[in-house]
Amino acid sequence: MMDGGLIQIEVCRKKGKPCHNGSIQQILLHESDIFTVGEDGYIRVWDFETIDTAEAVEEGGKMEIEPLNELKVGTDSKLMGITHGADNDMALWFAQDANGNVWKLDLSFSKNSLDPEIVQSFMSGAITGLDVSTSYDIFAASAGNSVRIMHTFTQDVLAQRIFNKKTTSLKWIPSAVDEKSDGIFLGFEDGVVRFVRLRSVTNKSEKKLDFDIRLSQVIKPHTKSVTCIALEVSNRWVATGSADGTVFFFNFSPKGLTPIGFVNTKNAVTYMTWTPSHYAKPRLMVCLNNGTVLEYDAPTGRYDATTSYSIESQLAVRIFKFRSIKSKLRHEEELERKRKEEEERQKKLEEERRLRGIEKKDKATYTDLTILISVYSTATATADVVIVFTF
C-alpha cells in the first residue's frame, strides 16, 4: 500500500512468504475483497478492510496476512487476468491464460464449486512448425512450448502436449517411411529433438481429446535451437539443422533415430531439403543465414564414431555463395533521386536568375528614357524636338 508516493505497508503471507510465486498480473477490488491474479496460476482473495486499516510501525513495514480463499487454475497455467461473467451469476468468472487458454471459473469458494474449465484454447506465440499427415485429414502445428494435432476440415483440436521448452521446428513422418504415419519429429530451442507418436485415447472419460501425444525418444544433437528437420524418404535419413552452425545426420527406424554424424557449417542453418527421389545420387541442400548454400553428399558410408561423430572431412560438399544486390539497387535509386532533386534545384535557380535579369534590364531602360526625356525637355525651350521610342 502506498500513500503520497511512499510505500507504507508491504503485504505478505506468514513468515514473510510472498503473496504469489512470481509476478502479480492483476489486482482488483470486488465488493469487500481484493482479488490478486498471479502467473503462478493462483487466484487469491484478501480482506480489504484488514489491509486498509493496517498501520505500519515504520515506513515500509510488513503486514503478514493469509488469503481468505484461493484457487489453483490448471497445472501449468500462467494467468494474465480475470473478468466477471454474467450479472445474474456472481460466481461466474473468466480467466486469460498466457498458454493460450480461456478458463471458466467458479469463484464461489464453496463445497459445491465447479472445477476450472477451458472454454476456448488457442495457439500461444508465433507458429514455428506446420506439417500434414499423408494418411489422415489432420495436421500438426507448434507454437510457444505446445504442439497441437488438429482436424483439417473441422479444425477441432484432437491432441495437445505442452513442453517445458519452446518448439522451433516440426516434421511429420510420411506414410512412405512409416506405414502408420503417426510419428512426428519436434525440434526445440535448447537443441533437443523429440520423437513423439500419436495414440488413441482408450479412456475418454478421463480426457476430452481423442488422441495422446506420447514421447518415444529424446536426443540432443545440438547446443542451440533446432531450426529445421529434413527427411530423405528412400533411404530413411533424417537431417537436423541448428542455429549453432551444425547439421546432424541420423538413420531412422520405427524405434527412433540412430546417429550417423555431423558436419560444421560455421553459420546458422535456416533451411534444408533433400534432392528429389529420382536423382541418381541423393544430396542435402543446406541454406545458411549468410547467403551461402551447401550441397552435401548423402552419408552412405560407414563412419567411425568411437572418438567423435564429426564426419565433415568424409562428406563431399559444394558451396554456392549468393550476394544480395538489394543494397546496391537501393543505393542507385537514392543516387537517381538526388540527381533529379539537383536538376530541379538548378532549374529553379536558373529561372530565378532569368527573372532577376529581366528586372534589372527593365530598370536600366526606364532610367535611360527618363534621362533622355529630361534633356529634350530642356531643349524644347529653344527648339522643336522629335522623340522616338524603340521597344
Other CB atoms within 10 Å distance of the CB of residue 43: 25
pLDDT in tens, 75-112: 888 999 999 886 667 788 999 998 888 999 999 898 88
pLDDT in tens, 79-89: 999 998 866 67
263: helix, strand or coil: strand
Here the cell at position 337 is: 533521386
pLDDT in tens, 251-302: 999 889 999 999 999 999 999 999 998 888 999 999 999 989 999 999 988 8
pLDDT at 210: 77
- Rounded CA-CA distance 131/128 in Å is 11
For the chain, give every domain's residue range: 10-121, 127-326, 333-359
- Rounded CA-CA distance 95/71 in Å is 12
The share of the chain scoring above pLDDT 90, in percent, equals 49
The fourth-level CATH superfamily of domain 10-121 is: YVTN repeat-like/Quinoprotein amine dehydrogenase (2.130.10.10)
Whether the per-residue pLDDT at 50 is higher than 70: the answer is yes
Determine the average pLDDT of the residues in 150-167: 90
Tell me which DSSP letter residue 360 carries.
Answer: H
Here the cell at position 181 is: 504415419
pLDDT at 58: 58
Domains 10-121 and 127-326 share a fold: yes
Determine the average pLDDT of the residues in 120-128: 83
pLDDT in tens, 300-358: 888 887 888 999 888 999 999 987 788 888 888 999 999 999 999 999 999 888 888 87
Whether the per-residue pLDDT at 156 is higher than 80: the answer is yes
Q: Mean pLDDT across the chain, nearest whole number?
A: 86
95: helix, strand or coil: strand
Determine the average pLDDT of the residues in 43-66: 80
Lowest mean pLDDT among 12-16, 122-126, 235-239, 280-284: 122-126
pLDDT band at 244 (very low <50, low <70, confident <90, very high): very high
Whether the per-residue pLDDT at 388 is higher than 90: the answer is no
**CA–CA–CA angle 144, 123, 103 (5° rounding):** 110
Whether the per-residue pLDDT at 53 is higher than 90: the answer is no
Determine the average pLDDT of the residues in 36-46: 94
The distance in angstroms from the start CA to the end CA of the chain is: 92
Whether the per-residue pLDDT at 236 is higher than 80: the answer is yes
Whose cell is 510420411? That residue is: 174
pLDDT at 170: 96
Residue 64 backbone phi and psi in degrees, to 5? -90, 130
Residue 202 backbone phi and psi in degrees, to 5? -80, -35
pLDDT band at 31 (very low <50, low <70, confident <90, very high): confident
- Rounded CA-CA distance 343/339 in Å is 6
pLDDT at 391: 47
The answer to whether 312 and 285 are in contact (CB under 8 A) is no
Tell me which DSSP letter residue 35 carries.
Answer: E
Fold of 127-326: Methylamine Dehydrogenase; Chain H (2.130.10)
Contacts for 179 with CB less than 8 Å, ≥ 6 apart: none
Other CB atoms within 10 Å distance of the CB of residue 132: 13
pLDDT at 208: 63
- Rounded CA-CA distance 273/160 in Å is 28
